[in-house]
């Protein structure tokens, strides 16, 4: 049996797929199966990209019709043959040592699951022009540690955004096939809408006591107008709306979440409610924190407003929902809305000033991260960024060598 399967579910994004494939083929860990799963859209572009690569480790499968994202991912997972499996998004990049470091951590800590930190690359056409062609690298320390699955699961249901980075969302994690089998036996599938990555995180955490988290960034997430998650966070753009229309998710929101609004927190809450439904309430001792969902949704709508989206309907939906809440939650929400809109306008004004300054990237370190400008570091796209990123990460780590793993 092949040791590791890298699954790449893709849909009609041939140029992005080519770069993701190169990153998978460039792994220092060689015992690989690289599975391209084509969510068929009626053209042969994806197949042509696959066939342009000549490597015995490559496999290709294709759906017989266009599937919603969660079904496409499930289809891809069902065809993987490796002892360990991971998912690589077609708009992301796996750094050369990614699989090797993850497998070493699994062996060292004797666990079935490893998750890792990631960087973010903003494409040249990212809507915030000052961020275009930039690499965002988290600030060290880059510690590797064993985490309690129950602790992280509790934080997930609490919708604690500080814990999301540690979540084993399959896009940033690798797991043994026996853990996948446990999930499938328990609930029939791994990926549940609307956020299949967060459903995978909850499902994996429910079926293992502990896992290892690698603080050293092993991959790069691609942020572009075509990236569904980033589009939702930024302004609910076209990519997210196309995704939502695939399976009439609006109706599903009404069934599980009484706040009929597509924000990041509502989508995650909806997903967790579906996981509860699939596993049985008695299996999960936690409830979704609806107050945090509401407050974070207010922040999300304010952010969409700041980024140019028409949010008049969203505010009306929020106001009606707030009016139905208990008095303490109502007061907290009204205060959050006032503060969010004020802070949003202020941040927009201050941000325009800051980002007009030469060398503004160095100011980002005050917020806890490192931002690298492609023009200064000699990269102009994700592939070029991926080649130089290991050096940049090592340089960042070297400045904090006493607090980072080698």
Structure confidence by residue, pLDDT tens digits, 76-88: 999 999 999 999 9
Parallel, antiparallel or unpaired: strands 173-176 and 113-122: antiparallel
Q: How many CA atoms lie within 13 A of 100 on its CB side?
A: 10
Cα 81-98-85 angle, rounded to 5 deg:
20
The answer to whether residues 200 and 167 touch, using CB atoms and an 8 Å cutoff, is: no
Residue 367: which pLDDT band, with cuts at 50, 70 and 90? Answer: low
DSSP code, position 364: G
Regarding predicted confidence, which is higher, 320 or 356? 320
Determine the Cα–Cα distance for residues 213 and 101; give it in Å rounded to an integer.
11
3-state secondary structure 242-277: HHHHCCCHHHHHHHHCCCCCCCHHHHHHHHHHHHHH
**% the chain with pLDDT above 90:** 71
CATH code given to domain 4-225: 3.90.550.10
Residue 260: which pLDDT band, with cuts at 50, 70 and 90? Answer: confident
Q: What is the pLDDT of residue 251?
A: 53
Determine the Cα–Cα distance for residues 97 and 75; give it in Å rounded to an integer.
27
Nearest in space to 295 (alpha carbons), one of 340, 229, 233, 236: 340
DSSP code, position 232: H
Q: State the average pLDDT over residues 226-254.
A: 69
Residue 394: which pLDDT band, with cuts at 50, 70 and 90? Answer: very high
Question: Which residues, 6 or more positions from 382, have their beta carbon under 8 angstroms from its beta carbon?
Answer: 16, 19, 91, 93, 121, 123, 220, 222
Residue 250 has pLDDT above 60, yes or no: no
Q: State the average pLDDT over residues 144-150.
A: 97
Question: Which residues, 6 or more positions from 162, have their beta carbon under 8 angstroms from its beta carbon?
Answer: 155
Domain ranges of the chain: 4-225, 290-356
Could you tell me the end-to-end alpha-carbon distance of the chain, in angstroms, rounded to an integer? Answer: 31
Q: What is the DSSP string of 387-404?
A: HHHHHHHHHHHHTTGGGS
Q: What is the pLDDT of residue 362?
A: 72
Question: Which residues, 6 or more positions from 148, have their beta carbon under 8 angstroms from its beta carbon?
Answer: 209, 210
Q: What is the pLDDT of residue 347?
A: 65
Q: Which stretches does DSSP call E strand in 39-112?
A: 58-62, 84-87, 93-94
pLDDT tens figures, 12-66: 999 999 999 999 999 999 999 999 999 998 889 999 999 999 999 999 999 999 9
Q: How many other CB atoms are there within 10 angstroms of residue 312's CB atom? A: 8
Token readout for 227 is: 């990236």
Residue 403 has pLDDT above 70, yes or no: no
Name the residue with tokens 């800051």: 354
Name the residue with tokens 């160095």: 362
pLDDT tens figures, 311-339: 999 999 999 999 999 999 999 999 999 99
Token readout for 167 is: 């979540």
Q: How many other CB atoms are there within 10 angstroms of residue 50's CB atom? A: 22
How buried is 107 (Cβ within 10 angstroms: 0-12 exposed, 13-18 middle, 19+ buried)?
exposed
Determine the Cα–Cα distance for residues 295 and 279; give it in Å rounded to an integer.
27
Q: How many CA atoms lie within 13 A of 399 on its CB side?
A: 11
Q: What is the pLDDT of residue 351?
A: 67
């Amino acid at each position: 049996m092949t040791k590791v399967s890298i699954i790449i579910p893709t849909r009609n994004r041939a140029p992005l797929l080519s770069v993701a494939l190169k990153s998978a083929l460039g792994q220092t860990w060689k015992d690989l199966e690289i599975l391209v799963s084509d969510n068929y859209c009626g053209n042969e572009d994806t197949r042509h990209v696959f066939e342009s690569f000549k490597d015995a480790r490559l496999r290709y499968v294709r759906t017989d019709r266009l599937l919603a994202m969660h079904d496409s991912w499930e289809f891809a997972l069902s065809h993987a043959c490796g002892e360990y499996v991971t998912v690589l998004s077609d708009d992301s990049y796996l750094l050369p040592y990614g699989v090797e470091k993850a497998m070493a951590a699994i062996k060292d800590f004797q666990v079935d699951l490893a998750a890792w930190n990631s960087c973010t690359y903003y494409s040249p056409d990212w809507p915030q022009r000052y961020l275009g062609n930039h690499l965002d690298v988290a600030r060290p320390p880059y510690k590797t540690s064993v985490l309690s699955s129950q602790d992280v699961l509790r934080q997930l249901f609490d919708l604690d955004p500080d814990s999301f980075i540690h979540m084993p969302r399959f896009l940033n994690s690798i797991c043994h096939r026996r853990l996948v089998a446990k999930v499938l036996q328990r609930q029939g599938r791994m990926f549940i809408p609307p956020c299949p990555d967060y459903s995978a995180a909850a499902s994996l955490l429910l079926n293992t006591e502990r896992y290892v988290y690698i603080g050293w960034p092993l991959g790069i997430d691609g942020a572009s107008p075509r990236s569904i998650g980033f589009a939702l966070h930024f302004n609910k753009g076209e990519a997210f709306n196309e995704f939502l229309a695939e399976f009439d998710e609006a109706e599903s929101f009404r069934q599980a979440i009484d706040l009929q609004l597509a924000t990041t927190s509502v989508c995650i809450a909806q997903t967790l409610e579906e996981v509860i439904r699939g596993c049985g309430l008695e299996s999960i001792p936690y409830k979704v924190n609806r107050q945090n969902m509401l407050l974070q949704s207010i922040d999300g709508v304010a952010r969409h407003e700041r980024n140019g989206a028409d949010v008049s309907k969203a505010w009306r939906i929020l106001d009606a929902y707030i009016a139905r809440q208990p008095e303490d939650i109502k007061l907290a929400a009204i205060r959050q809305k006032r503060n969010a809109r004020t802070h949003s306008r202020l941040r927009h004004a201050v941000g325009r000033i800051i980002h007009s300054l030469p060398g503004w990237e160095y100011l980002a370190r005050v917020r806890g991260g490192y931002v690298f400008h492609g023009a200064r570091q000699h990269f102009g796209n994700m592939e070029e960024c991926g080649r130089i990123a290991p050096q940049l990460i090592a340089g960042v780590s070297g400045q904090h060598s006493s607090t980072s793993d080698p």
